[in-house]
Structure 1
Amino acid sequence: MTVSRIAAPLRRQVLRWTMGRRGGLDISMVRKIPASTTYPLRRVGVDPVPELSRARDSAPVTRLGRVFGMNIWLVSGYDAAQAVLADSTRFSNDLRHLLGTRERTDAQGVGGLGMTDPPDHTRLRRLLTPEFTRRRLARLDGRIDAIVAETLDALARTGPRADLVADFGFAIPFRVICDLLGLSVADRQAFHRLGAARFDLSEGGFGVFNAATESREFLINAVRRQRSDPGDGLIGALLTEHGSEFDDVELGGLADGVFLGGYETSASMLSMGAYVLSQNPDAYEALRRGEAAEVDAVVEELLRFLCPVQVAFPRFARDGMDLFGARVNRGDLVAVSLSGANRDPRRFDTPEEFDPATATAAHLAFGHGLHRCVGAELARMELRVALRGLARRFPDLALAVPVEELAFRELSAVHGIDALPVHLWAPTGTHLEAVPG
């Protein structure tokens, strides 16, 4: 059989997968992403793959390819990334036109802040912004301290060997985000398995959208349960103050966005941050003994260097334009590589090195502009308390396996590590008790 005869039915099958029952492109049915477009979502260890730096060095905006009649552009230079992220006039975040025309349940829809344009975005964000100011988050200081201390106590009881992904990286933000949302103990048990699947692109949009549906359905139901008896967390506060203005689907979508932005990303940062610190003893010691400014520098440099959110929510060109030398057509998808921008040598002195001495808060780990992560300060709080607590409790922490045996995610919107086996203290020695924070 000729190649063309093989290709024709394959193309038809792909179209069937990606079209809704009534026609129209439906990316939630895509089961495989073209390999040529995936390099912004791949890494070697914690470092972006060389293809990303080559693309950035050639031009700040490059064409990834053309899929289903739509050009896909990659923005990887820092200045271009910042400009696109800040531009809500020429770009839209609404991707409903790519979800076909088939009927969907409430949980199968899209919404929240990341995929919404003004005025809906403005209306929804005004609910969350007051809850995530530094002043309002101060109420969580003691609770975060307690969660970290309890997590480190549990590690000490089962040491000297531990997995800092499951028992540290994921354990802390899960409890923090559940406390913040006000989920019951029963809800937490059922909710725990949701997380990494939201960002795993190995099954294309199909796997991501299915996982998103489960999560959204869970939180929409949590809002419904609390509407008659609001809890003491964020869901209860939103219902008490704005319940008559917003329905369960909108509030459940907001809660899902908080979970989406505050769980998996923080878990990846804590896990990969612990790995980087295990390879940089001076920075680890600075966390243990340094002043607040030194701790802040380590945290900001970890955010820039690791940048677990690899690509920002997709933007769509509202009209044709020249974008830093690239001719972008109306409707084209523009993907902004946050990890690429954070390694741009035109913006950072030592972009490929982890160097707290050059730390700056001007990185794009939390995005930029209208859609900048609303929970950025909460994430910083968690990182400061958790990583400093780890360094103070376990100053002799070391990897328990060779670096080359560590397994990192192969293809994910949020980069991470599968497991981080460590010795909390030397197996033949004694470990230190907790040092007051």
Structure 2
Amino acid sequence: MKDTALTPGITGGRLPPEEYAENFSDLHPRPDHHEALVAADRCYFCHDAPCITACPTDIDIPLFIRQIATGTPEAAARTIFAQNIMGGMCARVCPVETLCEEACVRELAEGKPVLIGQLQRYATDTLMEAGIHPFTRAEPTGKRVAVVGAGPAGLSCAHRLAMHGHDVTVFDAHEKPGGLNEYGIASYKTPNDFAAREVEWLLKIGGIEVKTGQRLGAGLDLAQLRADHDAVFLGIGLGGVNALNLEGEDKDGLRDAVDFIADLRQASDVSKVPVGRDVVVIGGGMTAVDAAVQAKLLGALNVTLVYRRGRDRMNASVFEQDLAASSGVRIITGATPRAIIGNGAVREIEFEYTDDDLQPTGQTFRLAADQVFKAIGQTLHGEGLPDLDGHKIAVTGAGRTSMKGVWAGGDCAAGGDDLTVTAVAEGRDAAMDIHASLTNAGG
């Protein structure tokens, strides 16, 4: 695909410098000390709290909020990190409105939950900014584990294994570790290089070596990794993007939304990132919303998000949908792309309305577009992988695959939600199962 920056109408510098600074500032600034105490005071500290059950990492939420309320945010952070070593990032990107906060008794009774996500950020930021790493490494076991993928699942797995004294080597295809947290999340959710700073902090446990530029199937062989290590964990994510399967999909101006988001995340100056005048995003998940909102923040005049099902079926939460709408993004549902129109570069996209069963209705419409982002799902890439369940790696228990000595977790593994917090939980649980296997604990 050609460089869309060379396509007429797609350019950077559409806005005054001060607008870029404002548009890409922190979406949810950390509460100050007083605000945190006020928010913590609203917690009922429920017995058998439903918020804990709703958290994929099982953080003891009432306990950490009580610790904040009693003036010990560092202790609160330790409570969080004991279950979720990437609690700082999760506090920024978790869809708390559909997880812990949706289950909050205050939400059920009053329609206004305790601000669990913001309180988690207050606690974790306090400890991390003090330069404190709350865990120590056990005596070395002599066991060596390979972790493929330095995203949330891989880093969570590596940290827990290192805690138990195992030597871990993490391999990742990108130039920087962090995976989705570094390359795939909207810039306004994680400003100031937080993802990189979190990785640096996590590695303070010791016993973890990170090797970047190492892609499975391209110089990195799974069979060799198994031979050289006592165990292997696969947290390789989903590297490919599904195709629209339409003629003209190679036209200038059409690209994958994940690449656009990665460009923004790695840009030293967001004003230099090119964006079109009329932008169309195809998809209904978090990636689609992140791409659409950021296109608008970069100065696109018209941004339209089109999804094939109804809004109630969108993977993006209602909060994210409302964020898009409030940012000026138009959302059209019940429509699927039929044709890419243009001579060399995209100029229009033709859609057809569909019914609830995705059957075509015969009614079509066109949207002007000089830039189109695909966000219609990602696919698993890799050679010699364990058995698959559909389009992901089949797992049983805590991430065990069909290959002896190989575990998997995160987006590449079947069965879980494609969320950062879920990936962290799966990496952590797989690490504990690996540890038990290597030490013959539990049989």
Tell me the TM-score range normalised by the shorter chain. under 0.3
TM-score scaled to structure 1, two decimals?
0.25
The answer to which structure has the higher strand fraction is 2
Greater percentage in helix: 1
Tell me the TM-score normalised to structure 2 length: 0.25
- The one of the two structures with greater contact order (alpha-carbon pairs below 8 A, sep at least 6) is 1
